[in-house]
């Protein structure tokens, strides 16, 4: 299990230095052309949003979607989006949900992995099957019934509803922990047990610290998923005061229907943190998704 | 989260390290086979760790599935205290609605988009696995859309597709005429499926790239020594080595294109022929209060997804992806 920091070192062989026939040169040109074209397809829609967010409402009336703003430091739209869109409150709500769900997921996932990997007990096969089959159920299909359960639990329209749902339905992170815990030698547990440590001490002092790379993976994968999730807060927290980043941005649609400069600023405000995190943690993010997405 | 607390309360003082056999035990563990037994643990110890995870699993996955199946045989509206057993009426209703075929037709657009997405991802992963300048920059640019908030993606593309928006402007430079990308019912699903390609190609690419990079370099070197062209290297070295992850991506694409929700919901709300299966279900349940019918629809979707997964297990039994 190589959760973090394995590839990148192993690269495909290099072909530089060999003489290149004309056909090879054409292939290289096509290769870079395709890469530049694909990058343009990714960047242009985002650039349009950025340019628009810097324009004044008067500038919006004339000039196309990709026209340059008159003043490149016109942050007026950002101020409007931030205050009128209640982005600070949204950030607070998202942070609350993020902290509780991510720590809950780490606890639940590591405890499950510990119990399943380090103990022999009756019904172990059944427990495994319950988790495995549940991972095949796409949660978006069961919302009709989950809604009623959240309602009956009395947490509807509170921040605990998403926390419970994110913590309780994440089977991918249990997989990540299970795969990783297998690489921790059992002799460590046994040595500690000989020193008189009980199972909880072993979990706390040996397993959890050694699971750090898996925890990093889960924090990244889960953190990105929660920051970007829309339908759980949309369904379970309709209250205006409980807007998250996603639902608060979604609510721009009504009042700013035609004011694309403000909507663009709001979208840019939401995208920038993702970009900063991506640039800072690139390597961890690639490896995290590579191990998270494939279960 | 009661399990860690319960477990913590029985922390034994670490003064005397008694040998394993003499540790106090209420009863011996029942089964002691396999190398991974935790000797000295009480029979209920693993259950203390599993208490909270199992409670959450049952409450938020198994109970909803069971409830959903039972609602699907009733005419419950989701609010009133009573409901009537209607047998299979919801299912017959579902399969005789003309809208049903519409939503499955829409899924086909997303399925086609997934095919484009997987091919593009495969191409870029292969290209980037060879020696390329600015490799990390290209990789980063192509992957970044996957990290963007879904609502932001929706707004970016509402602006992109709107009349006189980004796409029309760019097309104008090349002399092509404007289109009603989201307003034209014949075009809207292609546009929306295009957004899904934009958003998810990078993820597939990073997954494929990871798999390609774990191919032993000797294989590439041997192929290069034998004078294999890039296409031959791809065909005979890369493709066979990453087949499991391609299979997995195809399966995920099939179930993914059936459960598309976010982008069309944010961008069009399902109007103009762009309604997907999940949007229809959510609307039935929460806008029209037809919980029974919506549950039947969700059960059908769940069965299809399980069928697809099962087919994969039967058709490609050796290709379960287990990263090691």
Of the candidate ranges A33-37, B98-102, B235-239, B301-305, the one whose mean pLDDT is the lowest: B98-102
- N- to C-terminal Cα separation, chain A: 12
Query: B250 touching A, CB under 8 A?
Result: no
Same domain, A69 and A91: no
SS3 for B189?
A: helix
- Residue A293 pLDDT: 55
Residue A33 is assigned to a structural domain of this protein = yes
Same domain, A222 and A277: yes
Residues in chain B closer than 8 A to A167 (CB atoms): 56
Contact A108 B37 (CB under 8 A): no
pLDDT for B3-32, tens place per residue?
Answer: 333 333 333 333 333 334 334 444 444 444
Contact A121 B71 (CB under 8 A): no
Question: Could you tell me which of B264, B63, B306 has the C-alpha nearest to residue A144?
Answer: B63
* Whether B29 contacts B37, CB under 8 Å: yes
* Whether A181 contacts B7, CB under 8 Å: no
Residue A87 is assigned to a structural domain of this protein = yes
- Residue A90 pLDDT: 93
pLDDT for B176-194, tens place per residue?
Answer: 778 888 888 888 999 999 9
Question: Could you tell me which of A10, A90, A41, A52 has the C-alpha nearest to residue A250?
Answer: A90
> Given a cut of 50, is residue B153 above it in pLDDT?
yes
Contact A274 B148 (CB under 8 A): yes
SS3 for B181?
A: coil
Sequence length of chain A is: 295
Contact B37 A231 (CB under 8 A): no
SS3 for A137?
A: coil
Of the two residues A106 and B79, the one the predictor is more confident about is A106
- Residue A215 pLDDT: 93
Phi and psi for B74 in degrees, rounded to 5? -125, 175
Same domain, A140 and A28: no
- Using CA atoms, how far apart are residues A86 and B117, in angstroms rounded to an integer? 36
- Residue A19 pLDDT: 54
| pTM of the predicted model as reported, rounded to 2 decimal places | 0.82
What distance in Å separates residue B57's CA from the closest CA in chain A? 6
Phi and psi for B140 in degrees, rounded to 5? -65, -45
Same domain, A58 and A141: no
Cα angle B301-B268-A49, degrees, rounded to a multiple of 5: 125
Query: B176 touching A, CB under 8 A?
Result: no
Residue A69 is assigned to a structural domain of this protein = yes
Domain count, chain A: 2
- N- to C-terminal Cα separation, chain B: 31
- Residue A294 pLDDT: 52
To the nearest whole percent, how much of chain A has pLDDT over 90?
43
Cα A67 from chain centre: 33
Same domain, A127 and A104: yes
- Residue B101 pLDDT: 78
Contact A137 B302 (CB under 8 A): yes
- Using CA atoms, how far apart are residues B290 and B90, in angstroms rounded to an integer? 10
Domains of chain B, start order: 99-315 (1.10.3720.10)
What distance in Å separates residue A167's CA from the closest CA in chain B? 8
Same domain, A70 and A84: no
- Residue A13 pLDDT: 46
Same domain, A41 and A187: no
Residues in chain A closer than 8 A to B32 (CB atoms): 120
Contact B11 A11 (CB under 8 A): no
What distance in Å separates residue B101's CA from the closest CA in chain A? 18
Same domain, A190 and A288: yes
- Using CA atoms, how far apart are residues B64 and A134, in angstroms rounded to an integer? 11
- Residue A45 pLDDT: 93
Number of Cβ within a 10 Å radius of residue B105:
11
Q: Where are the alpha helices (DSSP H) in chain B?
A: 3-9, 45-57, 63-71, 89-96, 98-129, 135-143, 150-161, 166-173, 188-213, 217-225, 230-233, 239-241, 243-258, 262-267, 277-286, 291-315
Q: Where are the alpha helices (DSSP H) in chain A?
A: 22-53, 57-61, 76-84, 87-118, 124-134, 143-152, 160-168, 172-181, 186-194, 199-202, 208-210, 212-228, 231-236, 245-250, 260-293
ipTM confidence: 0.86
Residue A255 is assigned to a structural domain of this protein = yes
pLDDT for B248-257, tens place per residue?
Answer: 888 888 888 8
- Using CA atoms, how far apart are residues B75 and B86, in angstroms rounded to an integer? 6
CA-nearest residue to A275 within chain B is: B144
A151-154 long-range CB contacts below 8 Å, 24 or more apart?
Answer: A153/B59
Same domain, A66 and A181: no
- Token pair in block for residue A234: 């949309």
Residue A158 is assigned to a structural domain of this protein = yes
Q: pLDDT-derived band of residue B36, with 50, 70 and 90 as boundaries?
A: very low
B contact test, residue of A2, A8, A11, A145 with most B CBs within 10 A: A145
What range does the domain containing A91 cover? Answer: 80-293
Sequence length of chain B is: 324
Of the candidate ranges A270-279, B200-209, B218-227, the one whose mean pLDDT is the lowest: B218-227
B contact test, residue of A121, A144, A295 with most B CBs within 10 A: A144
Q: Alpha-carbon torsion B143, B148, B151, B155, what sign?
A: negative
Question: Could you tell me which of A97, A54, A60, A108 has the C-alpha nearest to residue A76?
Answer: A54
* Whether A218 contacts A106, CB under 8 Å: yes
pLDDT for A190-215, tens place per residue?
Answer: 899 898 888 899 999 999 999 998 99
Give pLDDT < 50 ranges for chain A. Answer: 1-17, 295
pLDDT for A139-150, tens place per residue?
Answer: 888 888 999 999
Contact A41 B198 (CB under 8 A): yes
> Whole-number mean pLDDT of chain B?
81
Same domain, A161 and A261: yes
Q: What is the DSSP string of B190-258?
A: HHHHHHHHHHHHHHHHHHHHHHHHTS-HHHHHHHHHTT--HHHHIIIIIHHHTHHHHHHHHHHHHHHHH
Same domain, A59 and A149: no
Residue A163 is assigned to a structural domain of this protein = yes
- Using CA atoms, how far apart are residues A151 and A161, in angstroms rounded to an integer? 9
Same domain, A60 and A84: no
Residue A1 is assigned to a structural domain of this protein = no
Question: Could you tell me which of B248, B197, B232 has the C-alpha nearest to residue B126?
Answer: B232
- Residue B318 pLDDT: 59
CATH number at residue A169: 1.10.3720.10
Residue A7 is assigned to a structural domain of this protein = no
- Token pair in block for residue A65: 């979607």
Instruction: Please report which helix (H) or strand (E) contains residue A9, including its range.
Output: none
């Amino acid at each position: 299990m190589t959760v973090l920091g394995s590839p990148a070192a192993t690269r495909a062989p290099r072909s530089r230095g060999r003489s290149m026939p004309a056909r090879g040169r054409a292939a290289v040109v096509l290769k870079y052309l395709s890469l530049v074209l694909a990058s343009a397809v990714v960047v242009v829609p985002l650039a349009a949003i950025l340019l628009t967010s810097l324009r004044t409402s008067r500038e919006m009336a004339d000039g196309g979607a990709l026209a340059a703003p008159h003043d490149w430091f016109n942050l007026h739209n950002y101020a409007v989006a931030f205050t009128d869109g209640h982005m600070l409150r949204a950030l607070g709500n998202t942070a609350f949900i993020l902290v509780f769900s991510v720590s809950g997921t780490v606890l639940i996932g590591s405890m499950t992995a510990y119990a399943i990997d380090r103990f022999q007990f009756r019904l172990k096969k059944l427990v495994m099957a319950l988790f495995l089959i549940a991972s095949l159920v796409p949660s978006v299909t069961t919302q009709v019934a989950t809604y009623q359960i959240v309602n009956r639990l009395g947490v509807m329209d509170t921040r605990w509803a998403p926390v419970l749902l994110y913590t309780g339905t994440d089977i991918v992170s249990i997989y990540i922990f299970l795969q990783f815990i297998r690489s921790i030698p059992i002799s460590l547990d046994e040595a500690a047990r000989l020193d008189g440590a009980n199972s909880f001490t072993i979990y706390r002092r040996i397993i959890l610290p050694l699971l750090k790379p898996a925890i990093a993976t889960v924090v990244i994968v889960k953190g990105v998923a929660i920051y970007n999730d829309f339908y759980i807060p949309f369904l379970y927290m309709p209250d205006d005061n409980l807007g998250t980043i996603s639902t608060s941005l979604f609510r721009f649609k009504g009042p700013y229907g035609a004011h694309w400069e403000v909507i663009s600023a709001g979208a840019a405000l939401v995208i920038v943190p993702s970009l900063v995190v991506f640039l800072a943690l690139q390597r961890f993010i690639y490896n995290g998704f590579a191990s998270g997405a494939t279960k | 989260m009661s399990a860690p607390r319960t477990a913590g309360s029985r922390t034994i003082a670490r003064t005397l390290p008694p040998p394993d056999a003499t540790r106090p035990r209420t009863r011996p563990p029942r089964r002691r086979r396999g190398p991974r037994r935790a000797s000295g643990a009480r029979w209920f110890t693993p259950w203390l760790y599993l208490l909270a995870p199992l409670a959450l699993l049952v409450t938020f996955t198994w109970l909803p599935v069971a409830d959903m199946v039972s609602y699907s045989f009733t005419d419950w509206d989701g609010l009133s205290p009573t409901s009537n057993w209607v047998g299979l009426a919801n299912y017959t209703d579902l399969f005789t609605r003309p809208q049903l075929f519409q939503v499955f037709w829409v899924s086909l657009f997303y399925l086609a988009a997934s095919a484009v997405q997987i091919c593009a991802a495969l191409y870029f992963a292969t290209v980037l696995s060879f020696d390329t300048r600015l490799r990390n920059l290209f990789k980063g640019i192509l992957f970044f859309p996957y990290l963007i908030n879904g609502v932001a993606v929706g707004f970016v593309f509402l602006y992109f597709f709107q009349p006189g928006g980004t796409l029309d402007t760019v097309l104008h430079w090349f002399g092509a005429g404007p289109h009603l990308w989201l307003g034209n019912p014949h075009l809207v699903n292609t546009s929306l499926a295009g957004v899904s390609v934009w958003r998810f190609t990078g993820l597939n690419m990073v997954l494929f790239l990871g798999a390609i990079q774990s191919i032993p370099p000797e294989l590439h070197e041997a192929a290069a020594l034998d004078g294999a062209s890039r296409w031959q290297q791809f065909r005979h070295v890369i493709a066979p080595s990453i087949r499991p992850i391609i299979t997995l991506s195809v399966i995920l694409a099939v179930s993914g294109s059936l459960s598309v929700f976010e982008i069309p919901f944010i961008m069009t709300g399902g109007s103009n022929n762009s309604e997907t299966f999940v949007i229809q279900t959510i609307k039935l349940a929460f806008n029209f209060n037809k919980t029974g019918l919506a549950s039947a629809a969700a059960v059908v979707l769940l069965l299809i997804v399980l069928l697809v997964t099962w087919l994969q297990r039967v058709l490609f039994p050796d290709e379960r992806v287990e990263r090691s």
